[in-house]
Amino acid sequence: AQSVTQLDSHVSVSEGTPVLLRCNYSSSYSPSLFWYVQHPNKGLQLLLKYTSAATLVKGINGFEAEFKKSETSFHLTKPSAHMSDAAEYFCVVSNTGFQKLVFGTGTRLLVSP
């Protein structure tokens, strides 16, 4: 069985400071891992994905995530937050070759001026 735990329901940062959104996963097989972002009243947009290639994955808008198998983690980072980054972020796991995604409960990122 697969599962995802997002360790923080809310994260608050100031504009220009680093962002860290934490995600731990559990998977019986070689996982595919994703981060999706949802801006208010919008659908989900793919930020980045890991599919067993490079362990450091770069995504859109300056975000990146590192796959650490020993820690079963896939944390999302950005060096400098922007006001437009305020949104809800979902960590997602899938077994490679299968279509079903399992979503975390989400982390709401708040960015203050």
Partner 1 sequence: DVKVTQSSRYLVKRTGEKVFLECVQDMDHENMFWYRQDPGLGLRLIYFSYDVKMKEKGDIPEGYSVSREKKERFSLILESASTNQTSMYLCASSLTGGVGNTQYFGPGTRLTVL
- Other CB atoms closer than 10 Å to residue 38's CB: what's the count? 15
Backbone torsion region of residue 79, taken as left when φ is above 0, otherwise alpha when ψ lies between -120 and 50, otherwise beta: alpha
Closest to partner 1 by CB, 9 vs 14, is: 9
Closest to partner 1 by CB, 63 vs 90, is: 90
Place of tokens 């079963």: 72
33, with CB counted inside 10 A (0-12, 13-18, 19+), is buried
Place of tokens 């896939």: 74
| Cα separation, 28 vs 9, whole angstroms | 25
Closest to partner 1 by CB, 62 vs 103, is: 103
Work out how close the CB of 33 gets to partner 1 at its nearest, in angstroms, rounded to a whole number.
9
Work out how close the CB of 109 gets to partner 1 at its nearest, in angstroms, rounded to a whole number.
15
Work out how close the CB of 38 gets to partner 1 at its nearest, in angstroms, rounded to a whole number.
8
Q: Which residues contact partner 1 by CB under 8 A?
A: 9, 32, 34, 36, 41-46, 49-51, 90, 94, 96, 98-101, 103-106
Work out how close the CB of 27 gets to partner 1 at its nearest, in angstroms, rounded to a whole number.
13
Closest to partner 1 by CB, 1 vs 70, is: 1
